[in-house]
Amino acid sequence: MAVTRNLDKDKMVVVEGSYSVAHSVKVCKPNVISAYPITPQTHIVEDLSQFMADGEIPNCEYINVESEFSALSALVGASAVGARSYSATTSQGLELMHEVLFNVSGMRFPVVMTVVNRAVSAPINIWNDHQDSISQRDTGWIQLYAEDTQEIADMTAQAFKIAEDKDVLLPAMVCMDGFILSHVYEPVVLLEQDLVDKYLPAYNPEFVLDSKDPKSFGAFADPSTYTEFRFLQEKAMEAALQKIEDAANDFHELFGRYYGGLIDEYETEDAEIIIMAMGSIIGTIKDVIDARRSKGEKVGLLKVRSFRPFPKEAIKKVVKNAKVVVVLDKNISIGLNEGALFTETKSCLYNTKIDVPVVGYMIGHGGRDIPVGTIENIIDEAKGVISSGIKVESQFTDVREELI
Amino acid sequence: MSPKSETNSRSKQLLAPGHRGCAGCCDAMAAKFTLMGAGEDCIVVSPTGCLEVMTTPFPESSWEVPWIHSLFENTSAVASGIDAALRAMGKAGKTKVIGIGGDGATLDIGMRSISGAFERGHDFTYVCIDNEAYMNTGVQRSGATPFNAATTTSPAGKVSFGNQRPKKNMPAIMAAHGSPYVATTSVAYPKDMIRKVKTATETVGPTYIHAHAPCTTGWGFDTSKTVEIGKLAVETALWPMFEIEDGEVTKVKKIKNIKPVEDYLKMQRRFKHLFTMEGGEEEIKKIQAIADKNVVDFGL
Amino acid sequence: MKIIPGGVCEPGTTRVNKTGGWRTFRPIYDYDKCIKCKLCELLCPEPAILPKDDGFFEFDYDFCKGCGICANECPKQAIEMVLEEK
């Protein structure tokens, strides 16, 4: 299904990306918000704090914690007593949360957290890439990536619905590109409270900390049961594959907007070259594809919305008839010289009958601009792969040779 | 045993037996006294440590009150979240929120978390069970290990008398956070501890109980001596018991006949080197000086 | 046993673990000396000392680990620790 946006112009307002997220959080009616300020996430928590100061979020407490570690830890306690729980962070803050991330997912608390993607130190850098959240891919969190400010607003509500589903019960990171989306002002439709109330059921966990029914949470598991805990988390992730599609479809039905479920496609049907990417770079790629299509070149785009769970089957279906797949990653696994989306896409095609060359480009590190010309060059090189095979499997893009 | 006595008395046990604490375990005593002081309408948070491991091997739990373990260093943050959620959801007021953790989890790795939670003024009580080292991992030094105690990471040796630093003064730090109620106590004085936990949990705001807890395994004494040694710590003035209300010391447990610190030290393996090594006598004098200063500072 | 999400446990379930097997010395009451002061019951870390209808106490040997704190602290020496015979 293609992107649908029944945008009611009368309802559109020009707001900052961060505000559209904060507004979505507000109408999802969280009980506890716990966050620590960090650039470029700050505008989200400032907007939420203003909502609190104005009494606009009923039945909610905002905890001004002393660190990201405590921000997420507080939500362990909050979720355990049945509170809908939200946080937002980025980069160094997310890295500081690392231990707690595993804990939240292992205890199956459906916390929703906005990650305003930013590069990690050192060298310290406040601009956008995806190294922060990609580095947390094995922590058992759902990871969704948004393309623009309307999608991040909508995805926030979807994330609560997916995470809190009783067949899932996993925390979710909703990822948006720092500054590029968080600090940009665009016209959006802010989520309507009455529609969100219809869309998102109340969070009613089966077990909570309650002295009338005193359960124990967080027992240690020895080798005789630990494997099964891990197995069940994986099963929940697999269940989330369908729930992510359902959440997008239900959203479409109520709000009239759709951006894909696990993935989205643009001009892929007959595409010989398929570009894969996540986040705000999608817009630039679409523009380049439009230009190429007008020249008759068969170029398409596979946008990945869900990185965890990884949509293996959906990807295979889209790329199976392509002649080359080009994967763009705003991250790198140092020592492998590959970005994560590239590695995992390659891996899911292995042991299949699909025989399509896959090449990877690591791009946009630490906020390096990604001009149209860079995408053009990548497409031209992809044509070379079709005609004469892979020369370089995975590489950095736009390296300034004069500095090395 | 008659079925009647089983139903009558076991139903009152808020910490069930069958836990894997060592014979004579100070943690089990501290948890029991805490629950006796707090009553059954509470939610308990525990960090990683002996108490957590010995009471909750999946799928079992010794706890008869709602209980949660998250991580080692975040007990006060988890308690903050519980306090906030109860308020947000209109359930605040009756249910008491309690953190119970060891000294390492409290004043070393959990320091950021407890400091933040107290500064923010959450309505909860934190009980530190101070057995003066990391016992769960095999008796390593913590910030609460006393001067000249031997642990596995501060052993006595040819050129060392063991841990060279005094205990971190955690009660003073918590009082400095503006806590309305801070108290020191000991598992050797259960009635004192139960009363202080009760006072703490009935006081609105963040309150702190620091309970001295002799550990048979870590300190090296017979399992029957947990209480005896705990009393000696108090009677030698090495562990003053006091209450601080709104920053002022308001009550101190007076000691009638203060005993020499040797009486306390000689019963424990961790101080044995002070009695066998050359120069040990001088070191014991330094410990006596700590006790003497406590006598002056607190008017024991 | 079924693992429910997060591994939530039922309260008081360590009672299936009879720690009495750890015991080397067994505490025995001398009810002639006992003054019903309740100190033993209060101090027991298990807890494995249960009140009886007559105000005295009895040991719960299913759980008593034989630490001997009760005997050491008893103000009337009413508890004796005797070697377990296997």
Domains along chain C with CATH numbers: 19-83 (3.30.70.20)
Which chain C residue's Cα is nearest to A168? C5
Predicted confidence (pLDDT) per residue in B69-92, tens digit: 999 999 999 999 999 999 999 998
Q: Which of B62, B216, B217 to mutate to test the interface with C (most CBs of C within 10 A)?
A: B62
Q: What was the pLDDT predicted at C4?
A: 86
The per-residue pLDDT for B2 is: 38
d(CA A245, CA A264): 11
Closest CA to B127 of B108, B151, B102: B102
Residue spans of the domains in chain A: they are 9-255, 263-403
Residues of chain A with pLDDT under 50: none
> Which residues lie below 8 Å from residue B263, measured CB to CB, with a gap of 6+?
B232, B235, B236
Residue of B46, B48, B89, B177 for testing the chain A interface, max A β-carbons within 10 Å: B89
Phi, psi of A359 (to 5 degrees): -125, 150
pLDDT at A2: 62
Does A9-255 match A263-403 in CATH topology?
yes
**Closest-CA residue to B214 (of B236, B244, B183, B245):** B236
pLDDT the model gives residue C5? 83
What's the one-letter identity of residue A131? Answer: Q
Using a CB-CB cut-off of 8 Å, the residues of chain B touching A107 are 70
Integer Cα distance of A22 and A136 in angstroms: 23
pLDDT at B6 exceeding the cut of 60? no
Cα C52 from chain centre: 13
For all residues of chain B together, what is the average pLDDT?
95
Chain A residues with CB-CB distance to B92 below 8 A: none
Reported in sequence order, the residue ranges of chain B that DSSP labels E, i.e. its strands, are 42-46, 67-69, 96-102, 125-130, 156-157, 160-161, 181-186, 207-212, 242-245, 248-252
Chain C segment 10-29 residues within 8 A of A by beta carbon are: 10-11
- Using CA atoms, how far apart are residues A361 and A344, in angstroms rounded to an integer? 14
**CB distance C9–B15 less than 8 Å?**
no
**pLDDT at position A1, please?**
55
- Find chain B residues with C-beta within 8 A of A64's C-beta: 120
Of the listed ranges B11-25, B73-87, C49-63, the one predicted with least confidence? B11-25
Q: What is the DSSP letter of A182?
A: T
Report helix, strand or coil for A372.
helix
A205 reaches B (C-beta below 8 A): no
The neighbouring-strand residues paired with B211 are B129, B185
Confidence of residue B208 (pLDDT cuts 50, 70, 90): very high
Confirm if B58 and A221 have CB atoms less than 8 A apart.
yes
Integer Cα distance of A148 and A123 in angstroms: 28
CB atoms near residue A27 (< 10 Å): 22
What confidence score (pLDDT) does residue B222 get?
A: 98
CATH topology of domain A263-403: Rossmann fold (3.40.50)
Give the model's pLDDT for residue B11.
52
- State which CATH number among 3.40.50.970, 3.40.309.10, 3.30.1490.100, 3.60.10.10 fits the domain covering A9-255: 3.40.50.970
Tokens of A293: 């299509």
Per-residue pLDDT for B95 more than 70? yes
CA distances from B271 to A269, B135, B212, B231 (A): 78, 16, 17, 17
| pLDDT band at B7; cut points 50, 70, 90 | very low
Whether residue A216 and residue C6 make contact (CB cut-off 8 A), yes or no, is no
Mean pLDDT for B206-224 is 98
Q: What is the pLDDT of residue B8?
A: 42
